[in-house]
Amino acid sequence: MDFSAARNNMVKSQVAPNKIHGEELLKSFMAVAREDFVASDKKYLAYSDIQVAIGGSRRCLKPLQSAQLIKAVEAKKGDKVLVVGAGTGLEVAVLAQMGVEVFALEADAELASKGEKLTKADNVQWLVGELEHGWEAQAPFDGILFAGAVAAIPNKPVGQLSGDGALVAIVGKNGDPVMTLTRIKGFSGGGHPEAILETVADVLPGMGPPERFEL
């Protein structure tokens, strides 16, 4: 399979026509070998308009969803961005290509290990831990991007934003027919989420609705 041609077609047919016009973002999508970040037996699906397995029960976001989240976080060269639920590092690699200083938080140690190897040349810092806590030791961040869905945006990462930083996540529960790509601006903006667009994605580990005790 000609992955370079598939990558070019992905950008031209899935990403660019959907109001993703930033030159640096499009160039970065062209530079990242998406097939390296998915499960070895799923490489042929890497550039399809679907969520593809990356390991275990996890799947990456669709290419357009990744682009929409990165566009919404409004990261610029030199900004400091935390990717939560980084998986094997697809969004991490794209942001790094854009000149962003990237920190990657992942709950699955095996996925994080693969991601760390794949992004080693980009000097990305990785942490294995619970996603809802963010990465307080490295805060504040100019941007925080959840690379998947959350039932609700947790408070701790919001408090780790800089005053004018942006947090973006797809908000919804597994089984919802529609979820909302949501943005919060600044550490004090938790009460004023902005709905960007509708989409659907897998909920990240530990980010579903809290379990309720029932008699």
What pLDDT is recorded for position 121?
93
What pLDDT is recorded for position 215?
44
CA distances in angstroms from 47 to 72, 118, 134, listed in the order given: 21, 18, 29
Sheet containing strand 141-150, edge to edge, reads 125-128, 101-106, 80-84, 141-150, 161-171, 179-185, 194-199
- Identify whether the C-beta of residue 104 lies closer than 8 Å to the C-beta of residue 89: yes
Q: Which residues fall within 8 angstroms of residue 168, CB to CB, at 6 or more apart?
A: 69, 72, 73, 143, 144, 145, 146, 181, 182, 183, 184, 196
Residue 156 φ/ψ, nearest 5 degrees: -60, -50
What pLDDT is recorded for position 22?
84
Task: Quickly count: other Cβ atoms within 10 Å of residue 121's Cβ.
Answer: 9
pLDDT, block means (10 residues), the chain with 215 residues: 95 93 92 97 96 96 97 96 98 97 98 97 96 98 98 95 96 96 87 92 92 48
What pLDDT is recorded for position 214?
47
- Identify whether the C-beta of residue 23 lies closer than 8 Å to the C-beta of residue 17: no
What pLDDT is recorded for position 211?
56
Give start and end residues of each alpha helix (H) in the chain.
Answer: 3-10, 23-31, 63-73, 90-97, 109-118, 155-158
The token duo for 68 is: 């929409």
C-alpha to C-alpha distance for 158 and 143, rounded to whole angstroms: 10
What pLDDT is recorded for position 213?
46
CA distances in angstroms from 96 to 65, 91, 102, 125, listed in the order given: 17, 9, 6, 11
The token duo for 35 is: 């097939």
**CA end-to-end distance (rounded Å), the chain:** 55
List the domains of the chain with CATH numbers: 3-199 (3.40.50.150)
Q: Which residue has the tokens 């600044």?
A: 186
pTM: 0.94
C-alpha to C-alpha distance for 75 and 163, rounded to whole angstroms: 14
Pairing state between β 53-55 and 58-59: antiparallel
